[in-house]
Amino acid sequence: MEAPSSGPVREFFLPELPRTLPFRYHPKAAQIEFASNGWVREYLADCFASESELLFFLRQRNGLYGPLTIPDAGAGRARDVADWYQFVTVIDTFVSDRTGLGADLDDALAVFGSIVSDFIPDQIPGQIRGRPRATAADEPRVDQVAYGRAARDLWRRISAGLSRAQTQRLVTALADFLRGCATEIDTKLAGAVPDYETCLAVRLDSFGCDFIELMTEYGAEVDLSDLRTELAEVHDHCRRQMIIVNDLLSWRKEHAQDDPMTVVRVLVEHDGLPLQAAVDRLCELVAWHEREYTRTRDALLAGPLGARADVRAYLGAVDLLMGGSQEFEYLTPRYFGDGAVWDGSTSGWIDLHAPVTRFRPTPLTTDERAPLIPLPTDERLPAGDHPPGGS
């Protein structure tokens, strides 16, 4: 379905995505979101150049991602996970910002090395090495100090509820996430658009798949470190479904930021598909991965592992993770513009150039087609409200 247009594509139609998996909000979702926003202000405010930038971030409602993805967890663990996702989303925000961490790969690597060092001081995984890093003699950046304080607080709270194997997985997962972020910075600065599988290989790290699964275990209070091989196929379809859904629903934002590491842009620029054809193909892949996830999950539950209560609890939690993640991505102004308010729509036309957009039942008419004005590439603040100097 193509919109009538001439010149650059400014909108696309998002078909209804399958929602075969359950989702629900944590019973204390509002309280957790508000408290997590307070944690961001206390620990991470110095990462933002101004109060306006901080408020812009908080209006994106990132504090709901935890309560939506582990809705059955105890309130304490749900709050821990909410804060964790706020932490990594702040990092992701500035990785995408070409006046912040995204401006210089070496600078970003120095910050990333410091984050891992602060997270668990006696173990710095090698995945972050390979470029010059800040030394003890260097003057630390303001955001470095903030990230470090937040990392230590999260480690203190979350590691207490993890096994030894899980703590090692968490450290490795954080390092892999930051390595993926570094690769995205390098790719964006080079202006390169990779092929589909190369893009997904990076996104598996930068999307945080390993720690997403671990936080799901943490919320369910189980440890499946001994079953990573047995769960690999289930996880592969879960991860790919979540990444593709994210890349579809965030395409307006990533398009504005000229981000090459998204499967939408890969199909358009690397594979040469028109935007609508790329979107339709990705929607088909979402449906296929969701079906395959369900098939492999059911096969596990029907076998010997299905007799284990921890396996049943975890796979039920993964269902809620996938459904809750998609629910969040429909509602967050992070993807649809500062001031966006979700009306429950999950399909429709999306204007790539509107400062605030929504799912519309019909394409823009000729009279509605205002001249194209590019959105700010960082989209951290509305036009005219960006403080000088960046962060």
Of 244, 127, 119, residue with least CA distance to 176: 127
**pLDDT attached to residue 295:** 98
Of 331, 333, 343, 247, residue with least CA distance to 55: 333
In this structure, whether the domain defined by 11-351 belongs to CATH 1.10.600.10 is answered with: yes
Lookup result for tokens 């799912």? 359
Q: What is the mean pLDDT of residues 279-289?
A: 98
Secondary structure element (H or E) that encloses residue 351, with its range: strand 348-351
Q: d(Cα 157, Cα 179) in Å, to the nearest integer?
A: 24
> Would you call 14 helix, strand, or coil by DSSP?
strand
Which range has the worst mean pLDDT, 174-183, 213-222, 306-315, 316-325?
174-183
Distant-in-sequence, close-in-space partners of 355: CB < 8 Å, separation ≥ 6: 337, 338, 339, 375, 382, 383
**Would you place residue 120 in the very low, low, confident or very high pLDDT band (cuts 50, 70, 90)?**
low
Q: d(Cα 133, Cα 136) in Å, to the nearest integer?
A: 10
Q: d(Cα 135, Cα 110) in Å, to the nearest integer?
A: 9
Neighbours of 375 (CB within 10 A): 19
Q: What would the two tokens of residue 330 be?
A: 């429909």
Q: Is 40 exposed, middle or buried (0-12, 13-18, 19+ CB in 10 A)?
A: buried
Lookup result for tokens 């101004």? 50
Pairing of the two strands 11-14 and 348-351: antiparallel
Distant-in-sequence, close-in-space partners of 292: CB < 8 Å, separation ≥ 6: 237
Helix count (H) and strand count (E) of the chain? 15, 2
For the question of whether the overall pTM of this predicted structure is more than 0.95, the answer is: no
Q: Which of the pair, 114 or 220, is modelled with greater confidence?
A: 220
The vertex-238 CA angle with 235 and 241, nearest 5°, equals 145
Taken as a whole, the chain contains a residue count of 391
Q: What would the two tokens of residue 162 be?
A: 């993890």
**pLDDT attached to residue 123:** 52
Secondary structure element (H or E) that encloses residue 40, with its range: helix 29-44
What are the tens digits of pLDDT across the range 375-384?
554 454 333 3
Q: Which of the pair, 382 or 298, is modelled with greater confidence?
A: 298
Q: Which of the pair, 101 or 41, is modelled with greater confidence?
A: 41
Neighbours of 326 (CB within 10 A): 24
Q: d(Cα 263, Cα 276) in Å, to the nearest integer?
A: 13
Where do the domains of the chain lie?
Answer: 11-351
Phi, psi of 115 (to 5 degrees): -60, -50
**pLDDT attached to residue 322:** 98
pLDDT at residue 346 greater than cutoff 70: yes
Kindly list the distances between the CA atom of residue 270 and the CA atoms of 241, 264, 377, in Å, as whole numbers in the listed order: 21, 10, 21
